[in-house]
Amino acid sequence: MIRVENLTKYYGKRLAVDDISFNVEKGEIVGFLGPNAAGKTTTMRIITGYLAPTQGNVWVADHDIINHSLEARRQIGYLPEAIPLYTDMTVRSYLDFAGRLRGMDSARIIARTDEVIEICHLEEYVDVIIGKLSKGFRQRVGVAQAIIHEPAVLILDEPTIGIDPIQVAMTRQLIRELGKDHTILLSTHILPEVSVICQRVIIIHEGRIVAEDRIDNLSSMMSGSQRFRLQISGPVKKITERLQKVKGIINVSYEESNYIIECAAGQDPRRQIMDEMVRGGWTLLSMEQIGMSLEDIFLKLTAEEEADE
């Protein structure tokens, strides 16, 4: 549905996107993951026709964005990171304008407005001036304009940024539902978000794709070692020594009154830790598994890449 081939973008002399290629198949929800300034927004802006590529091309539903830009754009619903709202318009008149821009006729706009209002839970705000809405509702209006013309492809740039946790959960739910009849490419820098919403993830770093895989494969790829954070009351030195003797634990460090332990893949030393603490007469206050953070993944991936070269 989306085919990106050898896409390169320079801003002046700065290289923002470096020769990336990927596909998004029909019906897929693909997460575009990367830290800030990785080139996510630039890539999305090129796909939607907001920016022209320096090199390479993109096909949206078999229309390429250079020679058949209008046909390609007709297939896309786009929610930019900065939600493009006219703050002096009401929600209804804004959706009307967005629909007309996409070539819809009045009857269809009226029918679809009611539908998207319901989908995005905006019933009470239809006739409110957008400037008076809170960030979370503005974001929903942004989603509403992206889907009003029932596009085949949805491009969502950081759809959950800057809104409160409840609304983040609602938005994720909404995206999953939209995924039933849309092909979706969404960008985020939040790791758990892709695992909740997406079937596949493309990780981009400094303008290049560093990993591309299904979510289930990715997590196993990332595993290799596990980490736990412990809080224990008792003498630091003795506890550290004892922990180091537990089978499977590779490394123990003590920072900010927490013990961070690292253990080999496939090993779960938690029961043994408990036993050791009881034997020593110390109290285990808490024990939690530390997931791999996005930074860790990038460090790992980029380190691997450099090793390959």
Partner 1 sequence: MKNTATIALKELKSYLASPMAYIVTGIFMILTGFFFSISSSTYYETSIKGFLEPGNLLLLLLVSVLTMRLLAEERKMGTLELLITAPVRDSEVILGKFLGSLGILTIMLILTLYYPLLLIGYGDPDIGPIFTGYLGIFLLGSASLAVGIFASSLTSNQIVAAVVSGGILFALWFIGYTATFLPEAAGEFIGYLSLSYYYPDFMRGVIDTRGIIYYLSITALFLFLAVRSLENSRWS
> Which residue from 20, 38, 83, 178 is in contact with partner 1, where contact means CB under 8 A?
83
- Is 56 one of the binding residues for partner 1 (CB under 8 A)? no
* Binding region for partner 1 (CB under 8 A) out of 26-34, 43-51, 115-123, 299-307: 43-51
- Closer to partner 1 by CB, 137 or 298: give it: 137
- Is 30 one of the binding residues for partner 1 (CB under 8 A)? no
* Binding region for partner 1 (CB under 8 A) out of 45-53, 132-140, 201-209, 258-266: 45-53
- Is 118 one of the binding residues for partner 1 (CB under 8 A)? no
Cross-strand partners of 259: 230, 254
> Which residue from 98, 148, 156, 209 is in contact with partner 1, where contact means CB under 8 A?
98
- Is 89 one of the binding residues for partner 1 (CB under 8 A)? yes
> Which residue from 1, 76, 211, 277 is in contact with partner 1, where contact means CB under 8 A?
76
- Is 299 one of the binding residues for partner 1 (CB under 8 A)? no
* Binding region for partner 1 (CB under 8 A) out of 87-95, 168-176, 211-219, 247-255: 87-95
- Closer to partner 1 by CB, 11 or 251: give it: 11
- Is 3 one of the binding residues for partner 1 (CB under 8 A)? no
Three-state secondary structure string covering the chain: CEEEEEEEEEECCEEEEEEEEEEECCCCEEEEECCCCCCHHHHHHHHCCCCCCCEEEEEECCEECCCCHHHHHHCEEEECCCCCCCCCCEHHHHHHHHHHHCCCCHHHHHHHHHHHHHHCCCHHHCCCEHHHCCHHHHHHHHHHHHHCCCCCEEEEECCCCCCCHHHHHHHHHHHHHHCCCCEEEEEECCHHHHHHHCCEEEEEECCEEEEEEEHHHHHHHHCCEEEEEEEEECCHHHHHHHHHHCCCEEEEEEECCEEEEEEECCCCCHHHHHHHHHHHCCEEEEEEEECCCHHHHHHHHHHHHHHHC
- Is 70 one of the binding residues for partner 1 (CB under 8 A)? yes
Site map 143..182 versus partner 1, x via CB under 8 A: --x-------------------------------------
Site residues (CB under 8 A) for partner 1? Answer: 11, 45, 48-52, 70-71, 73-74, 76, 78, 80, 82-89, 93, 97-98, 100-103, 145
